[in-house]
A and B are shown apart, each in its own frame.
Chain A
Amino acid sequence: MASNGIRDRVAIVGMGCTSFGERWDKGVNDLLIDASKDALASAGVELKDIDAFWLGTLFSGQSGLTLSRPLKIDYKPVSRLENYCATGSEAFRNACYAIASGAYDVAMAIGVEKLKDSGFSGLPSTRSVGDGTSAGLTAPAMFSLLAPAYAKKYGVEESVLKDAMTRIAWKNHKNGALNPRAQFRKEVSKDTIACSPLVAGPLGIFDCSGVSDGSAAAIIVRAEEAHRYTDKPLYVKALSFVAGPAAGPIDPDYDYTTFQEVVASAADAYAQAGIKDPRQELAMAEVHDCFTPTELVLMEDLGFAARGTGWKEVLAGTFDLDGELAVNPDGGLKSFGHPIGASGLRMLFECWLQLRGEAGQRQIASVARGRTLALTHNLGGAPGECVSFVSVVGSERS
C-alpha cells in the first residue's frame, strides 16, 4: 500500500477557535461565523480570499449550505464531511490535499457541532435501528469495555486502574483550568473524580469528556507561500486516516486493550513524518481522550508507552504538562469539551498555539528547548470498530 504523504507541502497560516461549552447564547451559524472570523483575522485574509471550504459536522447540518448560508459565500466549493468523532480532522485532511494538488491556493477547514440544544445526556444516536438486533450501547459504555479487559490482560488491580483513569481526568482538568476557551476551567480533586456517580462500568461522570458546542477553523496554503501570511506557519508533516474492518465485535482474536486502527494510522503518520521515537521527538500530543480508558490505551497505541505499562506512566506523571511528553495540554476532550465536528481542528489549534509559543500559562517548556513537532490524534467509533486519524505538524520546514 502506498501512503506517500504530503510532508511539508502545505502549511497552516491561520486558526480560530471559539470557546467550547454549553453555548446557550450561540447557534450553529454564530459558532461558524465566530470561528471563521478568528481564523481569517489570524491569517490576515478576507472571506473572498478563500478559494474552497471543507466543513466537518456530524449532527449539526448537512451539505455545504450549512456554511455558505451563514457566511454568504459567493458561489464557491463548500464540501460537508462526516467521519464520526474524527470529522474535524477529516475536513482538515481533505483541505490539505486540495491545496497540495494545486487545485486551489487558499482553503478553509472548519468544524462545528451544536450538541447541547438536543436536551439529551451524552450524544444522540447515529445509527438507524434496522432489524433491531444491535446492542445500542451508549458511548461511555462502549469505551468502558476497555477497562476490565485491560485490567485482566495486564494483571492490574481494578482499583489501580481506576487510579490511573482518575489521574488522566485530574491532569486534563488541571490543564483545562489554564485554558480560557475550555468548557471546564477548574481543577477537580482526585477524590471528587474517583467518587463521581457511575455512568458505565467503572467510568464515573468525570471519566467522560464534556458534551459541548463549539467551532474551530484553519486556513491552509501551499508551504512555499506560507510566509506571505505569517512568520510562524505550521507545516503539515503527516496526515493518516484509516477505517478498520470493524472486526472487534465479531472476532474473538480482538482483546479490547488496543485500537488497531490507531496503531495503523500512527505507523503511517510516523513514516510520513520521518519520526522514529515519538516520545523523544514530539513536543506534545493532543489525543482523543473521549473517556479516560481511551487516553490510557492510546498512550500505548501511539507508541508513547510500552504495552501494558501505560497505566504506570500515567501514574508517574509522564504525560503531565511538565512531564516528559505533554498530552492534552489544552485539557483535551475531557475538559476543553467535545463538539464533535470541531474537535479535530481544536487539537490542531493547541499545536498552533504551543509550537508558536503562544500558549500562555500552559506553554510547554520543551518547545523552547527545541522540540518543533506536535501530534494530533482523533478517533470515531468504538473499541474494535473505529476510524482513526493521526497528524503531525511542525514549526520548521525540513
Chain B
Amino acid sequence: MASARGLLAYGAYVPYARLDRKSIGEALGASAGSGTRAVASYDEDTTSMGVEAARAALRGVRAIPELLYFATSDPPYLDKTNANAIHAALDLPPSAMAIDVAGSVRSAAGALRAALDARVPALAVLSDIRSGLPGGGDEKDGGDGAVAFLFGEGDILAEAIGHASLTAEFLDRWRIPGEAHSRQWEERFGEFAYVPLGEGALVEALKHAGITAQAVDHLIVAGPHGRSNKRVAASAGTRKEAVVEDRTGVIGNTGTAHAGLLLADVLDRAKAEQVIAVVSLADGADVTVWRTTAALGARGPRTTVAAQVTSPGRVSYATFLTWRGVIRREPPRRPDPQAPEAPAAFRAEGWKFAFTGSRCQACGARHLPPQRVCVKCHAMDRMAPERLADVPGKIATFTVDRLAFSPSPPVVVAVIDFDGGGRFQCEMTDVDPKAVKIGDRVTMTFRRLITAGGVHNYFWKARPTTPEK
C-alpha cells in the first residue's frame, strides 16, 4: 500500500479580513443576515492566495510537484497562464508544467481529478474570490479562500476509493467575460436541476467504492448553490453527524475553493481509516470518496483550517467596497504607480517570485535582494542562492507612510531582520498600523502589491506572525 497513489499533502489559506454581514445591512438599509464572510485583502487575488495555500501544502514535504493545476473562477489574467506565477513563487523546477483550469467553479473538480490521475507528483491549487453587486446574495454569502492538494505515491494521507460524475447543461449561474459580477436564475430552478444530479452521483460513487452511505464518516456537499447543498446532504442517507459543517456562516461560500477547503478542514481532524465523501455541485455533480490512512496521525503541528476560519481581522463595508473596486477613492497628489518592467521581472524571477536571496560563500552573509558583491566582506561573485520565503524575522524599525499611494492607505513599511541573517525593507500587510512595534515577529506572504498599466505586480510582504494552533 505504501506505493499507492493518493493524497500526499494539503494546505489551506483563508484571508485575514472578515466582513460583518450586519454592516452591509446597516449601510444599505436592508437586512443582510448575520455572521461574517472572509475577504481577500486589496493586495490579494486568486493567484496570491493560491500561492499561500500551496506553500502550506508543500511545507515539510519531500515530493516536488512535476505538474501544477490552478483552478479558479476569477483568474487575474486571461491569455496568460496564472499558474506560472504560482510555479515561480513555489520555486518549482522549470520542467514542472503549470496549467490554468479557469473560468468556472467546476474547474476545481477537474483540476483535482487530473492531478489525482496524473503519473507524476501533481499539485492542484483551487482559489476563488467571490463578490457580487452591493446588497446581493453573492456579496454577502460569498467568501474568499484557497486550498491546495498534492497527489503522488508514498506515505499518502488518503486514498480515493470511489468516483462518479454527472454532467448536465442548464443555466443556474453565469458571467459574460469582462463582467464584474455573475447572474443567477431563479433559485428554485437550480435546486430542481442540482438535487437529482448530486443524489445520483453520490449513489454511484458509493457503489464504486463498495460501501454504504452509513459507512461514510464525513459527508461534504459544497457548491455555489446553497439550497441544493443542504438538500443533497439531508437526503444522502448518511448518519446525521457525518454531515460536515460548511463554515459559510463565518467565511462565506468560497466557490471554486469551497469543497476542497472543507475537505482540508475534515482532514485536519479526521482519524485513520475513515471515509470522507466529497460531493461538489457545480454545473453537474462530482463525487470522490476518500479513505484516510494511518499517516494522517503522524503529521507535525500545522496551521489548520479551523484556526484560520477564526480571525480577528475586520474590514468595514466601505473599505470592502473600495478593495473590490466598487468605490473609487481620491488618490494622494502623487505620481501614478508604474507597472513593473517585464525584462527586469524576468531577470529577477527567483527574487521577485520565490524570495530567493543570496549567501556569500566567503563569509556567510545573507543578502536580500541577491547581490554579486558581498556587503560584509566585499567578495565578488561568490554567492549561492538561498530562499528565505519561509524564514521568519523581526522588525528592526518601521514607519507608517501616509503620503505614499496605496489602494488601502496608509502604507506600513518595516525593516525586517531575518532569523539567521539578512535584512530587507518591505511593506507589511494584515497589520494594524497602531500596533506595530520594534521587535515584533513577522513572516513573509506572497501578495499582489498593485496593478498598474494592466500589469499585476506580485511580490512579498511581511505580516505579523500568528502562532500555530
Q: Do A and B come from one complex?
A: yes
Q: Which residues of A are at the interface with B, using a C-beta cutoff of 8 A? A: 119-122, 124-125, 128-133, 135-138, 140-142, 144-146, 148-149, 152, 198-201, 245, 247, 249-252, 254-256
CB <8 Å contact, A149 and B345 = no
Q: Could you jot down 22 A-B contacts, CB within 8 Å?
A: A120-B334, A121-B333, A121-B334, A122-B334, A130-B340, A131-B340, A131-B341, A132-B352, A132-B457, A133-B348, A135-B426, A137-B404, A137-B411, A138-B401, A140-B401, A141-B400, A141-B403, A144-B401, A145-B399, A249-B423, A250-B371, A250-B422
CA distance A46 to B376 in the complex (A): 52
- Contacts A120-B334, A133-B369, A135-B425: A200 and B402 contacting too (C-beta < 8 A)? yes
CB <8 Å contact, B411 and A141 = yes
In which size bucket is the chain B interface?
35 or more
- Chain A nearest CB: distance from B284 CB in Å? 40
Picked from B341, B344, B348, B367, the residue with its CB within 8 Å of the CB of A250 is: B367
Picked from B335, B339, B396, the residue with its CB within 8 Å of the CB of A252 is: B396
What is the 8 Å Cβ interface bit string for chain B, positions 337-355, against chain A (1 contact, 0 not)? 0111100110110011000
| A to B contact number (C-beta, < 8 Å) | 125
CA distance A141 to B398 in the complex (A): 9
CB <8 Å contact, A135 and B334 = no
Residues of chain A lying within 8 A (CB to CB) of residue B425: 135, 137, 249
CB <8 Å contact, B413 and A137 = yes
Any chain A CB within 8 A of the CB of B375?
Answer: yes
Residues of chain A lying within 8 A (CB to CB) of residue B325: none
CB <8 Å contact, B351 and A131 = yes
Closest to B376 in A: A251
Picked from A119, A133, A136, A251, the residue with its CB within 8 Å of the CB of B352 is: A133
Closest to B401 in A: A141
CA distance A119 to B332 in the complex (A): 11
CA distance A144 to B424 in the complex (A): 17
CA distance A128 to B345 in the complex (A): 13
Picked from B339, B413, B457, the residue with its CB within 8 Å of the CB of A141 is: B413
CB <8 Å contact, A250 and B402 = no
Any chain A CB within 8 A of the CB of B459?
Answer: yes
Residues of chain B lying within 8 A (CB to CB) of residue A146: 397
CB <8 Å contact, A131 and B403 = no
Any chain A CB within 8 A of the CB of B449?
Answer: yes
In the complex, the 9 A-B pairs of residues with the closest C-beta atoms, listed nearest first: A132-B340, A141-B401, A131-B348, A201-B399, A149-B397, A132-B457, A131-B344, A129-B338, A121-B333
Residues of chain B lying within 8 A (CB to CB) of residue A252: 396, 417, 421-423
Any chain A CB within 8 A of the CB of B61?
Answer: no
- Contacts A121-B333, A250-B375: A148 and B398 contacting too (C-beta < 8 A)? yes
CB <8 Å contact, A250 and B399 = no
Any chain A CB within 8 A of the CB of B379?
Answer: no
Any chain A CB within 8 A of the CB of B438?
Answer: yes
Residues of chain B lying within 8 A (CB to CB) of residue A128: 341
Picked from A124, A144, A245, the residue with its CB within 8 Å of the CB of B399 is: A144
CB <8 Å contact, A145 and B401 = no
Any chain A CB within 8 A of the CB of B100?
Answer: no
Among residues 430 to 466 in chain B, which have CB atoms less than 8 Å away from a CB atom of chain A? 438, 449, 457, 459
Interface centre among B332, B339, B344, B397 (most CB of A within 10 A): B397
Any chain A CB within 8 A of the CB of B368?
Answer: yes
CB <8 Å contact, B398 and A145 = yes
Interface centre among B376, B402, B411 (most CB of A within 10 A): B402
CB <8 Å contact, A137 and B424 = no
With A132-B341, A132-B345, A199-B402 given, can you name 19 additional A-B contacts, CB distance below 8 Å?
A119-B333, A121-B334, A128-B341, A129-B341, A131-B341, A133-B340, A133-B369, A135-B426, A137-B425, A138-B404, A141-B400, A142-B399, A145-B397, A145-B415, A198-B400, A200-B401, A245-B375, A250-B422, A255-B396
Any chain A CB within 8 A of the CB of B144?
Answer: no
- Chain A nearest CB: distance from B59 CB in Å? 23
CB <8 Å contact, B399 and A141 = yes
- Chain B nearest CB: distance from A250 CB in Å? 5
CA distance A124 to B394 in the complex (A): 31
- Chain A nearest CB: distance from B333 CB in Å? 4
Closest to A125 in B: B335
Residues of chain B lying within 8 A (CB to CB) of residue A124: 335
CA distance A44 to B172 in the complex (A): 88
- Contacts A128-B341, A249-B415: A137 and B399 contacting too (C-beta < 8 A)? yes
Residues of chain A lying within 8 A (CB to CB) of residue B402: 198-200
CA distance A275 to B115 in the complex (A): 74
CA distance A136 to B335 in the complex (A): 12
CB <8 Å contact, A133 and B459 = yes
CA distance A208 to B459 in the complex (A): 30
Any chain A CB within 8 A of the CB of B427?
Answer: yes
Interface centre among A135, A249, A254 (most CB of B within 10 A): A135
CA distance A137 to B401 in the complex (A): 7
Closest to B423 in A: A252
Picked from B333, B341, B367, B368, the residue with its CB within 8 Å of the CB of A130 is: B341
Residues of chain B lying within 8 A (CB to CB) of residue A130: 340-341, 344, 348
- Chain A nearest CB: distance from B375 CB in Å? 5
- Chain B nearest CB: distance from A200 CB in Å? 5
Picked from B348, B397, B421, the residue with its CB within 8 Å of the CB of A148 is: B397
CA distance A141 to B449 in the complex (A): 18
- Chain B nearest CB: distance from A338 CB in Å? 15
Closest to A197 in B: B402
Closest to A122 in B: B403
- Contacts A121-B334, A128-B341: A200 and B376 contacting too (C-beta < 8 A)? no
- Chain A nearest CB: distance from B414 CB in Å? 9
Closest to A385 in B: B425
- Contacts A122-B334, A131-B351, A250-B368: A149 and B396 contacting too (C-beta < 8 A)? yes
Residues of chain A lying within 8 A (CB to CB) of residue B371: 250
Closest to A208 in B: B403
CB <8 Å contact, B396 and A256 = yes
- Chain B nearest CB: distance from A244 CB in Å? 11
CB <8 Å contact, A131 and B347 = yes
Among residues 217 to 258 in chain B, which have CB atoms less than 8 Å away from a CB atom of chain A? none
CB <8 Å contact, A136 and B404 = yes
CA distance A122 to B339 in the complex (A): 21
